[in-house]
Each structure stands twice: as structure tokens, then as C-alpha cells.
Structure 1
């Protein structure tokens, strides 16, 4: 079973304020678990979110000018 993170912990991992993870939850852009009235995000869901939104660099090779 994954570790369940609260909104504050998710914000710290992402380097944002708590409003951003709350917005992700409200817009259903991240998987979350309701425990009574508390909301928790599984560590794997956070990892998937970060992986899905990671932009990889583009390597361009310069052509030699003749």
C-alpha cells in the first residue's frame, strides 16, 4: 500500500503552496482518497502526475556549414 500524503506534504514535494494541490483535487486531475472529510493523495499518484507532466529537453544538432 502506498503512503498517503496530505495536501501540505504534496505542496512541499511539488514546491508550491497548498492551493495548487487543492486545485488538482478539485479539477480531478490527480487521484485522491477521501478518509472521512480528509483528503489524501497516494505517493504513486503524485509520482504518476509528475511523470506525466515532465517535459524532456530537445537536443538539436547543428549542421556543418560547407
Structure 2
């Protein structure tokens, strides 16, 4: 299956951010992108990989000891 390429505005919409944030990711080379002439495009798979790499799992909830603190 061919990968779909998103422009900067579409990538920003997909992440729920502004265009400026996407452009900063590109400038800092934190997300893979391709240039077609003067147009910058981000592959959907590259965007998915960025999301996966920066997803933080919730911390496990700590349970209290049955004895509590020492008096």
C-alpha cells in the first residue's frame, strides 16, 4: 500500500497543533519528512512513528503499605 503524504497544515491538524509546531519539528529534524521541489511533506507512517516514540505511558498507581508509616 502506498504511503500518503501530508502537507504541514494536514500534519498539524492530525496532531491537533499549530503549523508553527510542525515547522519546528521539521527544522529540528525531529520528524522524518520529504521535499518535493519546494514542498515539504510528511508521510503518515513517519507521523505515526513520531507519535508512538513520544507517547508516555501512565505511571502505575502505588498502593499503600498495610502498615502505613512508622510512628
Give TM-score, length-normalised by structure 2: 0.86
Which stretches in structure 2 are left out of the alignment for 5+ residues? none
**What is the aligned partner in structure 1 of residue 63 from structure 2?**
62
Which stretches in structure 1 are left out of the alignment for 5+ residues? none
**Pairs aligned (count):** 66
**What is the aligned partner in structure 2 of residue 34 from structure 1?**
35
CA RMSD of aligned residues (A): 1.0
Further displaced range: 9-18 or 56-65: 56-65
After TM superposition, give the deviation of residue 9 of structure 1 in Å: 0.4
Query: What's the secondary structure of 2:40's corresponding residue?
Result: strand
Query: What's the secondary structure of 1:39's corresponding residue?
Result: strand
Question: Could you tell me how far apart the structure 1 residues matched to 2:64 and 2:18 are?
Answer: 44
Shift >6 Å, 4+ stretches: none
